[in-house]
Homo-oligomer: A and B are copies of this chain.
Amino acid sequence: MSSRKITIEDIAQKANVSISTVSRVLRKSSGVAIDKREAVLQAVSDLDYRPNVFAQSLASGQSMTIGVVTQNFGSPFYDGILQGILLGLERSDYSPLFADGRWNETIEQHALQTFLDRRVDGLIFVGGQLPEADMMAVAQKTPLILVGRKIDSLAENCIHIDNFQAGYNLTSYLLDMGHRNIAHITAHMHYQNTVSDVAQRYAGYVQALADAGIEFDPQLVVQGTLLQQSGALAVEMLMMQKRPFSAIFAANDQMAFGARLALYRRGIRVPDDVSLVGFDDEMTAAYTIPPLTTVRQPSVEMGQAAAAALMNLIDGQPVNLQTFKSQLIVRESVARLR
């Protein structure tokens, strides 16, 4: 076997050119005589040359990496986004570094610092808790995109759907199906100054009721934690209050699944006795019993858009983020009320 790593110099020698010429053709930069270019390329392939990224980075100041901070690996919606990011980056020369903030500000901060230390060329936050001020400071120094979180002062760097509209539409659908007493399972309404997604869904719910001339009843709104278990507890809470309802709008599928189980335990049939809708269209939503009516966020597409936008940002090009449209997925968990 050969031993010494082959460098740009070996290529230069073999191709009878200077190292800068080699560097030029490799960097696809300005004009190089076609014959020399080919000689270089030939040598590169002959010697199976691999540029040393360390040296490249040191000399250029670019790491060709981007940092991705996620919050909960394993959540379908966020995973979809990650998938999209990976996809969007695949054809580029950037590689993603990952960290999981686990919805813990300290951990998230640490992850951010790590990425900054590694001189990532850009950052994508998928969700997140860091204070608005911190994010702005970061954005000042490093290209930054936020997915699944909206910060007003960074609006141009945020990718999201219109959660208010989605909540409104979902509630309207239930109203159309004849439901008048619609319970809502929501979750913590805000991190820091940021209004959370679920808060906006809640607002849409409230508005839809108002527009339908239905009086809002706070007894029908209970707060969970986005986890399945909390959906079950929420149902228990609703039952305890003895305030009748014919439909439940859970702010995410997970809680809807939990709610479904609690109803099942009490012998309440879905959708015969109570209709149920969720939010996110997780993979399993189509395979629960009964299949769940929900809202799909185009998470993969959003992730891809995030990657694309970030690369534009890095290149100093305009970003122009579209708002993504959510889609109502009608399945069998809702019955028409006569």
Contacts and interface: CB of A to CB of B under 8 A. Distances in A.
Contacts of A50: 116-117
A96 interface: yes
Contact of A260 (B73, B119, B287): B287
Interface stretch (A13-21, A54-62, A157-165, A168-176): A54-62
Contact of A118 (B53, B55, B83, B86): B53
The complex is assembled from copies of this chain, and their number is 2
A82 interface: yes
A55 B55 CA distance: 8
Interface string A252-269: 001001101100100000
Given A54-B119, A283-B228, A289-B288, A96 B98 contact: yes
Contacts of A116: 50
Nearest to A51: B117
Interface string A224-236: 0000100010000
Nearest to A288: B288
A74 interface: yes
B54 A73 contact: no
A95 interface: yes
A99 B86 contact: yes
A117 B286 CA distance: 41
Contacts of A58: 52, 54-55, 57-58
A114 B100 contact: no
A117 B261 contact: no
Nearest to A93: B114
A73 B86 contact: yes
A229 to B, nearest CB: 8
B95 A118 contact: yes
A97 interface: yes
Nearest to A261: B287
A37 to B, nearest CB: 21
Given A54-B63, A232-B287, A264-B289, 18 more contacts: A51-B117, A53-B119, A54-B57, A54-B119, A57-B58, A73-B83, A90-B107, A95-B97, A96-B98, A98-B98, A228-B287, A254-B283, A257-B284, A260-B287, A261-B289, A264-B290, A284-B284, A288-B288
* Closest 4 pairs between A and B when the two form their complex, measured CB to CB: A54-B58, A54-B57, A74-B79, A257-B287
28 contacts: A51-B117, A52-B58, A52-B119, A53-B63, A53-B118, A54-B119, A55-B58, A57-B58, A58-B58, A68-B98, A73-B82, A74-B76, A74-B80, A95-B114, A95-B115, A96-B98, A97-B97, A98-B98, A228-B287, A232-B287, A254-B283, A257-B287, A260-B287, A260-B289, A261-B287, A261-B288, A261-B289, A289-B289
